[in-house]
Chain A
Amino acid sequence: MTIRRHHDMGGLDAGTVEPVEHDYAIWEKRVDAIVKLMSTEDRPYLSTDELRRGIEELGPGVYDELNYYERWISSATNLMLEKGVFSVKELGRKMADVESRWQAAGAKPQ
């Protein structure tokens, strides 16, 4: 069987490419920093290859819906759960903490 995996789209029709300049949102910069800090010698929690594999495993629907850094943080999160760096419960609790902190500060969650 010659199965083309969803992300492996070189040569497929992509329509017109319109180059646009854009700045990175602060959360995108944070995702970049988090992933870099998780792949140092002191904190070897993930490699670029694992991150790529995780992005490929998001599946066609999610892969298309998420933007670049959303794919990064989704893959990194799944990898940390797989490796037991944190548990689903710890992640959920932390997400709730952060959200209430944001609300208390009167900021809209990003």
Chain B
Amino acid sequence: MSAARFQSGDTVAVSAAYPPGHVRTPYFIRGKSGVVDSIAGAYPNPEELAYGRDGMPALPLYRVRFKQTDVWPDYAGPANDTVVIDLYEPWLEPTS
């Protein structure tokens, strides 16, 4: 695995990409910004494993925290509610 590009506390944006193949990034989180909570480790790329390949090199997997009010426009719960989603590094971009 290459060194992780992001650290805990970094603000990141999820790619607003919509490829037709197997991906593990939920539709509802694409294009949203959150903060890296922790690095979960490095794992073979599921987008490759899904087609019978070895998924190497392993990719850093991040736990990224999002404000619920950023994810759902009509969110009715407390304003400080968050959701944590596991996201692979290629789906994340730094935000300026």
Interface size in chain B (residues, C-beta < 8 A)? 15
Summarize A's interface: helix, strand, loop or mixed. Answer: loop
CB distance from A56 to the nearest CB of B (A): 6
Quick one: given A1-B18, A3-B18, A5-B20, are A50 and B49 in contact (CB under 8 Å)?
yes
B1 at interface by CB-CB < 8 Å: no
CB-CB contacts below 8 Å: B7-29 with A:
16, 18, 20-22, 26-28
Residues of A in contact (CB 8 Å), total 15
Contact of B22 among A2, A3, A52 (CB under 8 A): A52
Give Cα distance in the complex from A1 to B16, angstroms: 10
Cβ B72 vs Cβ A3 within 8 A: no
Inter-chain contact A50/B51, CB cutoff 8 Å: yes
Please pick, from A1, A4, A50, the residue contacting B27 in the complex, using a CB distance under 8 A.
Answer: A4
**B72 and A50: CB pair below 8 A?**
no
| Closest Cβ–Cβ distance, residue A103 to chain B (whole Å) | 37
Given known A49-B49, A49-B50, A50-B49, contact A8–B22 (CB-CB < 8 A): no
Given contacts A2-B18, A3-B20, A11-B72, A50 and B50 within 8 Å (CB-CB)? yes
Closest 9 CB pairs of A and B: A49-B49, A53-B50, A53-B22, A49-B50, A11-B28, A8-B27, A4-B27, A49-B46, A10-B28
Report A's interface with B, CB cutoff 8 A: 1-5, 8, 10-11, 47, 49-50, 52-53, 56, 83
In the complex, 23 of the A-B residue pairs with CB atoms within 8 angstroms, ordered by the A residue number, are A2-B16, A3-B18, A3-B20, A4-B18, A4-B27, A5-B20, A8-B26, A8-B27, A10-B27, A10-B28, A11-B27, A11-B28, A47-B49, A47-B50, A47-B52, A49-B46, A49-B49, A50-B49, A50-B50, A52-B22, A52-B50, A53-B21, A56-B22
B residues in contact (CB < 8 Å) with A: 16, 18, 20-22, 26-28, 46, 49-52, 55, 72
